Structure 1
Amino acid sequence: MDALLKKLYYDPKTGLIGAQALYQKAKELNPKITFKIVKDWYGSQTDIQRFQEQKTRFNGFKIASHNPNSWQIDLAFWEKRPILTAININSRLGYAKLLRNKTAATVLAALKAFVRLHKVDILTSDNGSESMNLQAQELFKSKTIDEYNNEPGDHGTMGKIERFNRTLKQRLTKMSPKRITQKLITDVIENYNTTFHRSIGV
Structure 2
Amino acid sequence: MDALLKKLYYDPKTGFIGDQALYQKAKELNPKITFKIAKDWYASQTDIQRFQEHKKRFNGFKIASHNPNSWQIDLAFWEKRPILTVININSRLGYAKLLRNKTAATVLAALKAFVRLHKVDILTSDNGSEFMNLQAQELFQSKTIEHNNNEPGDHGTIRKMNDSTERRNRD
TM-score by length of 2: 0.57
* Structure 1 position 73, deviation (Å): 0.3
The more displaced of 74-83 and 14-23 is 14-23
Distance of 1:155 and 1:111 partners within structure 2: 19
Task: Give 1:165's aligned residue.
Answer: 169
Shift of the 164–79 alpha-carbon distance from structure 1 to 2, 3 Å rule, reads: closer
How far has the Cα of 1:62 moved from its partner?
2.0
Provide the C-alpha distance between the structure 2 equivalents of 1:154 and 1:94, rounded to a whole number of angstroms: 18
The alpha-carbon distance between structure 1 residues 154 and 109, as it changes in their structure 2 partners (threshold 3 A), is same
Deviation by residue 1:16-42 (Cα, 9 ceiling, x = unmatched): 999999999999999999999999999
- TM-score (ref. length: structure 1): 0.49
Q: For this pair of structures, how many residues does the alignment match? A: 166
**Residues 30 and 157 (structure 1), Cα distance of their counterparts in 2 relative to 1, 3 Å cut:** farther
Structure with the greater relative contact order (CA < 8 A, sep ≥ 6): 1 or 2? 1
% identical equivalent positions? 90
Structure 2 alignment gaps of length 5 or more:
none
Q: Contact 1:87 / 1:160 at 8 angstroms: preserved in 2?
A: no
Residues 1:157 and 1:84: Cα distance change in structure 2 (over 3 Å): closer
Change (3 A) 1:126 1:136: same
Structure 1's consecutive aligned runs of 4 or more residues displaced over 4 angstroms after TM superposition are 1-60, 155-166
State whether residues 78 and 169 of structure 2, in contact with CA within 8 Å, keep that contact through their aligned partners in structure 1: no
Higher Cα radius of gyration? 2
- Residue 63 of structure 1 aligns to a residue whose secondary structure is coil
Which residue does 1:20 correspond to in 2?
Answer: 20
Change (3 A) 1:67 1:99: same
Is 1:153 the counterpart of 2:157 in the alignment?
A: no
Aligned-pair distance for 1:75?
0.8
Structure 2 distance, partners of 1:67, 1:76, is 25
User: CA 1:137 to 1:29, structure 2 compared with 1: closer, same or farther past 3 Å?
Assistant: farther
With over 3 angstroms needed to count, the CA separation of the structure-2 counterparts of 1:121 and 1:101, relative to structure 1, is same
Separation of aligned partners in 2, 1:118 and 1:29: 70
CA RMSD of aligned residues (A): 16.5
